[in-house]
């Protein structure tokens, strides 16, 4: 099983970044992301002092790692009628609060306090019931949450947080289609789940896949990110091969082009649908804050033998853990470049389980059938791991799931400090490492 998650990531990474030597060392592999420190051309030109180089590295890293926060800020600004922010600045659906397994008595109290019932969904395959409430007129989600917790001290309530993808398009640096190829398990009879944006079934890399789409009231709303992740997970064409080529995809679009796309109640519903279809391996390349509903759903799936593979996120090495990757029982994947160096923006911590290639990659990204782009981020490393595992876990089964994870970790190529570490986890899978050790 993945190692127990820790909340000490910020302390670990603060100590790492305090070392000036490391700060200088990470400048070189970040040509496209960090400001360049110019070397002297003549003996009369002085090298920048070490503290200046350190500050340059830190400033560049903050710029790269702050993209999710910037996106969240822009989303809320552009959609003030639908979105708000919680006390920590995380985006939430405006004036909504979520209750988990609310009793009839608690719901009656909320109704008397002028909360409006928006919807209730019960997911029997997970043993979870979710209730979405709208706060009284003029009451923010933050105030509404406090009110509900006061009305029902024994209940479980939280914000309807938004979860964002964890990868970007990158400027091409000479990558070729061969760059996507990794040791694949083959897709015949393989079923794998994907929670993301919409997948374009017409793309040449995905035309041979059977794709079961859910979300968006059965409409197809293709997205760049969802299509890219799907291609790395299961795509296949003449010169393009994902981790589980031609696998049967169960793809849930939790965005649908809406301002409130990625809300946690929709992410939880996606997990519930995949559980109803008994899809044993589920890739999630979305990240966000800890949330009571997501935690409950993930724990239920893990307890039932499902394997969730999730990207650790790109908020930087000093960032707190992001979820669902940091939940216990989830296989958390970080990203490395083609030289097997961890991405500067990748999150770190004790919850990191393995590393996989997540930069200098080609993936199917555009609406045109044959178009690909270079991608970068932990979003694109996790599907490469999920695809490898999907061939080994055909049905939800706790014992079989644990054996598959043990084999994956045993076959990883050690990177960084000897043994498991908080940067690479157990090490690299794919890209020359044994995909899975013999069982």
Q: What is the pLDDT of residue 22?
A: 35
Are 386 and 334 part of one and the same domain? yes
Point out the domain boundary residue: 161, 179, 201: 161
186: left (phi over 0), alpha (psi -120 to 50) or beta: left
- Enclosing domain of residue 150: 82-161
Is 202 within the bounds of a domain? yes
If asked whether residues 115 and 259 sit together in one domain, one would say no
Angle at 403 between CA 397 and CA 406, to 5 degrees: 140
Rg of the chain, C-alpha, whole Å:
22
Residue 155 domain-assigned (yes or no): yes
225 neighbors 165 (Cβ within 8 angstroms) = yes
Contact criterion met (CB below 8 Å) for 333 and 343: no
232 and 155 co-located in one domain: no
Measured between alpha carbons, how far is 379 from 96 in angstroms, rounded to an integer? 28
pLDDT at 61: 56
Residue 60: per-residue pLDDT: 55
Residue 355, class by beta-carbon neighbours within 10 Å (0-12 exposed, 13-18 middle, 19+ buried)?
Answer: buried
Pairwise CA distance, residues 326 & 298, whole Å:
11
Q: Which two tokens stand for residue 177?
A: 């289609």
Query: What sign does the dihedral 131-135-141-145 (CA atoms) show?
Result: negative
Residues 137 and 151 in one domain: yes
Q: 107 lies in a domain?
A: yes
* Domain CATH for 86: 3.30.70
Q: Which residues, given as ranges, of the chain have pLDDT below 50? A: 6-50, 171-183, 434, 437-439
**CATH value at residue 271:** 3.40.50.200
Only one residue has tokens 């598959």, namely 404
Q: In what order do the strands lie in the sheet with 372-376?
A: 168-169, 372-376, 361-364
What per-residue confidence (pLDDT) applies to 241? 85
Q: How far apart are CA 262 and CA 363, in angstroms?
A: 22
Q: Give me the pLDDT at residue 170, please.
A: 57
Q: Are 361 and 175 in contact (CB under 8 A)?
A: yes
The pLDDT value recorded for residue 218 is 80
Please tell me the total count of domains within the chain. 2
Q: Which of 271, 263, 331 is nearest to 300 (CA)?
A: 271
What does the DSSP 8-state code read for residue 341? P
138, 249: one domain: no
63 occurs within a structural domain: no
The answer to whether residue 310 sits within a structural domain is yes
Same domain, 391 and 308: yes
- 31-48 confidence digits (pLDDT tens): 333 333 333 333 333 434
> Does 382 share its domain with 404?
yes
Percent of the chain whose predicted confidence (pLDDT) is above 90: 70
Quickly list DSSP for 391-411: TT-SS--HHHHHHHHHHHHHT
Looking from the CA of 160 toward its CB, the CA atoms found within 13 Å total 28
The Cα 316–Cα 64 span in angstroms is 8
Query: Does residue 403 share a domain with residue 336?
Result: yes
β-pair partners for 363:
373
Task: Confirm whether 43 is domain-assigned.
Answer: no
Its pTM stands at 0.84
Please choose, from the candidates 88, 74, 40, 37, the residue with its C-alpha nearest in 3D space to the C-alpha of residue 59. 37
224 shares a domain with 341? yes
Q: Flag whether 417 is in a domain.
A: no
Of 112, 144, 161, which residue sits at a domain end? Answer: 161
User: Among 111, 134, 161, which residue terminates a domain?
Assistant: 161
Same domain assignment for residues 144 and 188: no
Strands in 229-367 per DSSP E: 236-237, 240-241, 248-253, 281-284, 286-287, 307-311, 331-336, 352-357, 361-364
In angstroms, the CA 260 to CA 160 distance is 10
Residues listed for the chain: 439
Both 287 and 403 in one domain: the answer is: yes
Per-residue pLDDT at 14: 41
372-376 and 361-364 as β-strands: parallel, antiparallel, unpaired? Answer: antiparallel
In a domain, 383, yes or no: yes
Give the pLDDT score at 97: 98
Residues 350 and 295 in one domain: yes
Is-contact 8 317, C-beta < 8 A? no
Pairing of strands 128-134, 116-123: antiparallel
SS3 content of the chain, % helix, strand, coil (to 5): 30, 25, 45
Q: What is the predicted pLDDT for the residue at 67?
A: 80
> For position 2, what pLDDT does the model report?
59
């Amino acid at each position: 099983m993945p190692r127990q998650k820790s909340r000490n990531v910020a302390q670990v990474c603060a100590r790492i970044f305090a070392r000036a030597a490391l700060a200088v060392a990470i400048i070189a592999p970040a040509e496209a992301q960090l400001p360049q420190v110019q070397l002297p051309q003549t003996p009369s030109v002085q090298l920048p002092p070490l503290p200046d180089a350190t500050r340059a590295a830190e400033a560049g890293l903050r710029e790269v790692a702050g993209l999710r926060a910037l996106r969240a800020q822009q989303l809320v600004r552009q959609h003030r009628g639908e979105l708000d922010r919680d006390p920590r600045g995380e985006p939430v659906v405006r004036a909504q609060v979520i209750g988990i397994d609310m009793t009839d008595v608690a719901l009656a109290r909320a109704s008397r306090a002028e909360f409006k019932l928006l919807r209730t969904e019960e997911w029997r395959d997970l043993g979870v019931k979710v209730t979405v409430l709208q706060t009284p007129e003029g009451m923010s989600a933050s105030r509404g949450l406090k009110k509900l917790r006061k009305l029902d001290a024994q209940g479980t309530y939280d914000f309807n947080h938004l979860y964002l993808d964890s990868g970007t398009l990158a400027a091409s640096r000479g990558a070729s289609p061969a760059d996507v190829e990794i040791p694949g398990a083959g897709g015949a009879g393989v079923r794998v789940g994907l929670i993301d944006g919409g997948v374009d079934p017409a793309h040449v890399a995905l035309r041979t896949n059977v794709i079961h789409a859910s979300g968006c009231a059965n409409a197809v709303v293709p997205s760049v990110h969802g299509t890219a992740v799907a291609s790395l997970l299961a795509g296949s064409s003449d010169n393009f091969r994902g981790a589980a080529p031609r696998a049967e995809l169960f793809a849930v679009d939790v965005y649908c082009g809406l301002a409130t796309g990625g809300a946690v109640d929709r992410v939880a519903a996606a997990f519930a649908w995949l559980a109803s279809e008994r899809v044993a391996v589920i890739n999630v390349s979305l990240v966000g804050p800890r949330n009571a509903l997501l935690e409950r759903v993930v724990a239920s799936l893990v307890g039932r033998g499902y394997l969730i593979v999730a990207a650790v996120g790109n908020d930087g090495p000093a960032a707190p853990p992001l979820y669902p990757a940091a939940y216990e029982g989830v296989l958390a994947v970080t990203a490395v470049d083609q030289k097997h160096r961890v991405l500067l923006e990748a999150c770190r911590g004790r919850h990191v389980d393995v590393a996989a290639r997540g930069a200098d990659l080609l993936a199917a990204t555009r609406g045109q059938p044959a178009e690909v782009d270079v991608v970068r981020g932990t979003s694109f490393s996790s599907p490469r791991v999920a695809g490898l595992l999907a061939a080994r876990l055909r049905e939800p089964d706790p014992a079989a799931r644990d054996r598959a994870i043990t084999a994956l970790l045993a076959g990883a190529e050690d990177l960084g400090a000897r043994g498991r570490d908080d940067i690479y986890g157990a090490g690299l899978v794919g890209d020359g490492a044994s995909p899975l050790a013999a069982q």
